[in-house]
Amino acid sequence: MCGIVGYVGMRTAAPILLEGLRRLEYRGYDSAGLAILPEDGPLVVRKRQGRIDHGLAPLVADFPAPGLAGIGHTRWATHGPPSDANSHPHADASGRIAIVHNGVIENFDRLKERLRAEGHEFLSDTDTEVLAHLIGRERAALAAEVGPPGELLVRAVSRALREVIGTYGLAVVSADAPGLVVAARRGSPLIVGIGDGEHFVASDAAALVSHTREVVYLNDYDVVAIRADGIQVTNLGTDTARVQISRLEFDAEAAERGKFPHFMLKEIFEQPTTVRNALRGRLDFDEATPRFGGLNMTLAELRGVDRIVVAACGTSWHAGLVAEYLFEEFAHLPTEVEYASEFRYRNAPLDKSTLLLVITQSGETADTLAGLREARRRGHRVLAICNVVGSTIAREADGGIYLHAGPEIGVASTKAFTSQVTVLTLLALLMGRIRQLSSSRGLQLMRALEAVPEQLEEILALDGQIAAIARKYHQARDFFFVGRQYQFPVALEGALKLKEISYLHAEGYPAAELKHGPIAMIDEHTPTIVLAPADALIEKTASNLQEIKARKGPVILITTRGHDRLASMADDVLFLPPTLDPIQPLLTVLPLQLLAYHIAVLRGCDVDKPRNLAKSVTVE
Ligand code: G6P
């Protein structure tokens, strides 16, 4: 989704902004631009539709933009199609103020009408341009006031924002206030980076890590004046602001591809390490129970929970579906898994002993955040399972568990999923151990979890074989993924991976459900990936496999080593190491990630930046 970068310091701003924007490319965008504040003279605005390397970068090379301060933006279209005119930055009526903005101004049409009546003319379809004009109008209204131009700009921004309904993360520069970037947030993340004689602002830590690891996470309604020698934060709501300097957990290297051709492949191969990190320090073998530092709930409070509602989107929602089986099996806790976008608008009855669990890699997904806020407003406790430290959801939840998976850059989520499932398995185990789950079963499950990182290494060694299967089937147009029980959510996730990055039609189904309709689509051109590890239902899944074969459907079987009889029925087979049923999703998903990856590469798709998708969806 849209990205923001800003810089004020002693260095030429344009290359720093371009580098920052490149680091935000993974979030998804369709155009890019920047505004440079020269030491004197008019603002320089450069913007172009398309990828940075084909649009903005050559434009800046042809028409350099000198200056030591500026703002930059990658846009993911919401109001108006991708075009040069709709790209950010947008200027006010005077052309002396420029802004970049993430989020959605909901009352922009009413504000636009009012401004039009006052004589303002607009060059784009965007809500952002309206905000630029509004700030310009407020600045003009302060023209008679005396005071440093920087202070007047901060006041103008604050006054304009009081009229705005909606969400924003924004950065503003004005030719009348050299050496100053004003930034503000409500509902859209913004982080200030603290350097030595220079300061940065960005919507995502990935744009900051190559410069500094000291950051300030802005809170909603914060307005910050950023200069080379310091920052000054005020809050529109409380008039006072909490400024706390935090340290970014990851370094620049973690946000780089290294020897891998794509971030997605790098992240798939990181999973032995990331699952180990998710388990680290959380397995107490003496007590046969997991332990967490950040839940902020006593065992008595956790015992008092009698129902769990999970709200999440996309891949995180699939991790929630695995958790449904886990909570029910280990702790006998009724669990419902909701799309956050549906949950937030339903008047779902939650009683006092219901626990809301939100799952989110980014910690910024708008619908998940809104679900959390709604539940908290009604007095419910919310736990978050989150990867990005310091993200809005991590900060607003009552407690939670971090994944510690490091930055996930590939738009198609991979390592976050396995870390989410690992952490959810631990949480379900804890809930079970404080209820009826025996210590021997607890220990057995914990040992199986501990073995997962090495087993993932073994599965990664199948990469060549998976690439060969991809070569065989990459021309197919439709794919089915089927599995039962714990494998059903994995089937959904496998289908989602393929759709996201290869644009092929893929559907996940419970294996037995295929015959209630979708089997009509099975023919010799439609491969089905059958997830049938050695679990309690392997024989039942084997019957479903035969139903597919009877319709001449090619079958790619994923099963456990030693199941040769089942393998003989399939066209292609991948053998995985054995584990317990509830731990299987952590193993079976990995070949599906690799299969989707190789198919997408063979089809010439841009794996890390799939069309129309964004890494972090901060609009509803
Ligand atoms: C986007 C991403 C998905 C992700 C979903 C939820 O759609 O493209 O990969 O699963 O958002 O994101 P979250 O950060 O809340 O897990």
E-strand ranges in 1-149 read: 3-8, 31-37, 44-49, 69-75, 90-91, 97-102
- Order of all β-strands in the sheet with 222-227: 90-91, 97-102, 168-174, 181-186, 222-227, 230-235
167 lines ligand 1 (CB under 6 A): no
State how far the Cα of 44 lies from the Cα of 35, in Å rounded to an integer: 5
What average pLDDT does the segment 465-476 reach? 97
What average pLDDT does the segment 595-600 reach? 98
State how far the Cα of 587 lies from the Cα of 256, in Å rounded to an integer: 26
Residue-averaged pLDDT of the chain? 93
The residues assigned a catalytic role are 2, 615
Q: Is the peptide bond before 89 cis (omega within 30 degrees of 0)?
A: yes
Per-residue pLDDT, 151: 94
391 lines ligand 1 (CB under 6 A): no
Residue bearing the bigger pLDDT, 39 or 408: 408
Q: How far is the CA of 453 from the centre of ligand 1 (A)?
A: 24
pLDDT, one tens digit per residue, over 128-138 is 999 999 999 99
pLDDT score of 615 more than 90: no
Q: Computed over its alpha carbons, how large is the radius of gyration of the chain?
A: 26
Question: What is the distance in angstroms between the CA of the first residue and the CA of the last residue of the chain?
Answer: 12
365 lines ligand 1 (CB under 6 A): yes
Return the ∠ at Cα 406 (arms to 453 and 73), rounded to 5°.
150
User: Does residue 470 contact residue 595 with C-beta atoms inside 8 Å?
Assistant: yes
Q: Best mutation site among 2, 316, 338, 396 for ligand 1, i.e. most ligand atoms within 8 A of its Cβ?
A: 316
pLDDT band with cut points at 50, 70 and 90 for residue 153: very high
Per-residue pLDDT, 254: 75
pLDDT, one tens digit per residue, over 169-178 is 999 999 999 9
Phi then psi for 331, rounded to 5 degrees? -120, 0
What average pLDDT does the segment 264-279 reach? 96
Ligand 1 atom with the smallest distance to the CA of 413 is 9
Q: Best mutation site among 322, 387, 615 for ligand 1, i.e. most ligand atoms within 8 A of its Cβ?
A: 615
Angle between helices 271-279 and 439-460 (to 10 degrees): 160
pLDDT, one tens digit per residue, over 548-557 is 998 899 999 9
User: Atom 8 (ligand 1): residue with closest C-alpha?
Assistant: 615
Per-residue pLDDT, 530: 96
User: Does residue 417 contact residue 319 with C-beta atoms inside 8 Å?
Assistant: yes
316 lines ligand 1 (CB under 6 A): yes
Q: How far is the CA of 598 from the centre of ligand 1 (A)?
A: 21
pLDDT, one tens digit per residue, over 275-325 is 999 999 999 999 999 999 888 899 999 999 999 999 999 999 999 999 999
State how far the Cα of 279 lies from the Cα of 276, in Å rounded to an integer: 5
Kindly state the DSSP code that residue 37 receives in the 8-state scheme. E
Ligand 1 atom with the smallest distance to the CA of 613 is 8
**Residue 176, C-beta contacts closer than 8 angstroms, at least 6 positions apart:** 96, 139, 149, 152, 153
Per residue in 452-471, is it b (16+ CB within 10 Å) or e — as a string?
bbebbeebbebbeebbebbe
pLDDT band with cut points at 50, 70 and 90 for residue 126: very high
Which residue bears the tokens 């197919």? 476
pLDDT, one tens digit per residue, over 521-567 is 899 999 999 999 998 888 888 888 889 998 899 999 999 998 888 88
Scanning 293-365, the segments in alpha helix (DSSP H) are 299-303, 314-331, 340-343
Q: How far is CA 218 from CA 132, 192, 201, 239, 465, in A?
A: 21, 7, 10, 14, 47
Scanning 251-291, the segments in alpha helix (DSSP H) are 263-269, 271-279
Per-residue pLDDT, 76: 87
Kindly state the DSSP code that residue 187 receives in the 8-state scheme. B
Length of the chain equals 620
pLDDT score of 78 more than 90: no
Whole-number percent of the chain with pLDDT over 90: 77
State how far the Cα of 425 lies from the Cα of 597, in Å rounded to an integer: 26
**Residue 19, C-beta contacts closer than 8 angstroms, at least 6 positions apart:** 210
Kindly state the DSSP code that residue 346 receives in the 8-state scheme. S
State how far the Cα of 402 lies from the Cα of 359, in Å rounded to an integer: 10
State how far the Cα of 367 lies from the Cα of 351, in Å rounded to an integer: 21
DSSP-assigned states of every residue in 395-428 = HHSSEEEE-------SSS--HHHHHHHHHHHHHH
Strand partners, 148: none
Q: Best mutation site among 267, 388, 617, 620 for ligand 1, i.e. most ligand atoms within 8 A of its Cβ?
A: 617
Q: How far is the CA of 372 from the centre of ligand 1 (A)?
A: 16
Phi then psi for 456, rounded to 5 degrees? -65, -35
